[in-house]
Amino acid sequence: MAKPSTGFSTFLFHKKRWLLLLLAMLSVSTAVAFIIRAAYDSSCDRQHFDVGNRIQKPEKVKETTSSQIGVVTSPSPLSFMKSKLVLLVSHELSLSGGPLLLMELAFLLRGVGAEVCWITNQKPSGTDEVVYNLENKMLDRGVQVFSAKGQEAINTALKADLVILNTAVAGKWLDAVLAKNVPRVLPKVLWWIHEMRGHYFKLDYVKHLPYVAGSMIDSHVTAEYWENRTQERLKIKMPKTYVVHLGNSKELMDVAEDNVAKRVLREHVRESLGVRNDDILFAAINSVSRGKGQDLFLRSFYESLQLIKDKKLQVPSIHAVIVGSDMSVQTKFETELRDFVAQKKIQHRVHFVNKTLTVAPYLAAIDVLVQNSQGRGECFGRITIEAMAFQLPVLGTSAGGTAEIVVNGSTGFLHPAGKEGVSPLATNIVKLATHVEKRLTMGKRGYERVKQMFLERHMADRIASVLKDVLHTANARQ
């Protein structure tokens, strides 16, 4: 049975300490995860943390300006948000994409001088280390954090210039907390939706959707799906909807464009996995679940090994890496994956890595990203543009936002979702394993596409345009 690899940050602690400086350069989500890992290993006393009470804003947050570091930067497109009061409502606070993305927006807004407040609608009972560390990360950046329930939440919602609900599920907070004040708040609500699954289309979640100032969705295909599904299933109309593609942070791009950093990270990750420098690594980097398609990826990988053997192709040793393993969450499915690997006797070629958000080291170490999300695919799939920043070709399903990112035949190859995609994906794995020039060329084209469309400044521009329009709509309705 394949042995799960330990988390990369733990590995680094036992290697050269200066590598930690590289990790500090990673994206906001990566940095958050690294802090959490450090907190898990520490002996800090957390007995005074009370998740039910408001967490006080630090007295002073020290801001670093461009003049302090000798760099002249252009004004942020979000600078008009200075002094605006923004309330961010998240359905949960976890290491999943939605909450972390909302945190990034919180930090962008704080960076231009907005007053940002955060509430989490659903929290685990008792002290939770993930919540504790993420909330303190926000406090360190000057974001005010307090309880979702109570008069302070109501007062803030009423006073705010803008309220951003994150995910469809966050809609439950409106009636549960605001009650009779809901009509006063709806005109200044921007609803940021990331979900693609049918079970989110419930009136309990989204009945107020037609009355908000606008909705923001990460891809065109998801926006179209929401428009059609709400009308057909719920008989309600979507508000004005904005499509905002995401972007890579400047910190992640710094690592992606630093050849020395990438080489060091590549060597050490590969050493931890027990693979050689000239081996070819195909990796799926997602939380492990049936919807992410790791089972079908492994079937494709095994089929590709058979194709190479049958055709007697001369290629370096190829490996599959599953980053995102967590046996405690998906025990049955993860067991199925390991049983398949054992049954096919490919334990030496398949590597399971524990769930982590320190993705940049793995992107530096692999050769191809496999984005094999099933069903309707990813709403966007940020790992795809992160991989492209590292000049990696992408093998993805032709579903969801992936098809809006990957240019088929240019920056990667697309294959159908479901079982019918197993053989095409296997063929594409063999193509990239046997044609190094094609692999490198696709990677370079992907990087160029990121530079043109998927940087933090592109995302900030797109979000700024939405916020200006939503604020105008909100003011007109009051």
The answer on 191 and 111 residing in a single domain is yes
Give yes or no: residues 243 and 257 share one domain.
no
The total number of structural domains that make up the chain = 2
* Closest alpha carbon to 30 in 404, 391, 363: 363
- Please report which confidence band the pLDDT of residue 10 belongs to, taking 50, 70 and 90 as the band edges: very low
| Calpha distance 262→269 (Å, rounded) | 10
DSSP structure string for 313-378 = -----EEEEEEEE-TTTSHHHHHHHHHHHHHTT-TTTEEEEE--S--HHHHHH-SEEEE---TT-B
* pLDDT band of 466, cuts 50, 70, 90: very high
Question: Residues 242, 270: one domain?
Answer: no
Residues 318-355 pLDDT 10s? 999 999 998 888 899 999 999 999 999 999 999 999 98
Asked whether residue 362 is assigned to any structural domain, the reply reads yes
What is the predicted pLDDT for the residue at 198? Answer: 67
Residues 197 and 259 both lie in one domain: no
268 and 198 in a common domain? no
Q: In the predicted model, what is the mean pLDDT of residues 216-241? A: 93
- In tens, the pLDDT along 400-451 reads 999 999 999 999 999 999 999 999 999 999 999 999 999 999 999 999 999 9
Average pLDDT, the chain: 86
Question: What's the average model confidence in pLDDT over 279-298?
Answer: 96
* 335 within a domain of the structure (yes/no): yes
Q: How many CA atoms lie within 13 A of 311 on its CB side?
A: 13
Tell me, what CATH number does 84's domain have? 3.40.50.2000
Together in a domain, 350 and 292: yes
Residues 256 and 147 in one domain: no
- Whether residues 238 and 331 share a domain: the answer is no
* Average pLDDT of the segment spanning 32-60: 34
8 Å CB contact between 362 and 325: no
Residue 463: closest CA among 156, 104, 187: 104
Specify whether 351 is located in the same domain as 241.
Answer: no
- Residue 391: CB atoms within 10 A of its CB come to 21
392 and 269 belong to one structural domain: yes
Beta bridge partners of 412: 394, 408
Residues 445 and 467 in one domain: no
- How many residues belong to the chain? 478
Instruction: Find the mean pLDDT for residues 375-400.
Output: 95
Q: Are residues 254 and 243 in the same domain?
A: no
Q: What integer pLDDT is reported at residue 283 of this predicted model?
A: 98
Which residues span the domain enclosing 194? Answer: 79-247+459-477
Domain membership flag for residue 39: no
Ramachandran class of 391: left when φ > 0, alpha when ψ lies in -120 to 50, beta otherwise? left
pLDDT in tens, 246-276: 999 999 999 999 999 999 999 999 999 999 9
Domain assignment present for 69: no
- Res 76 pLDDT > 70: yes
Q: Is the pLDDT of residue 65 over 60?
A: no
- What pLDDT does 74 receive? 79
Question: Does residue 299 form part of some domain?
Answer: yes
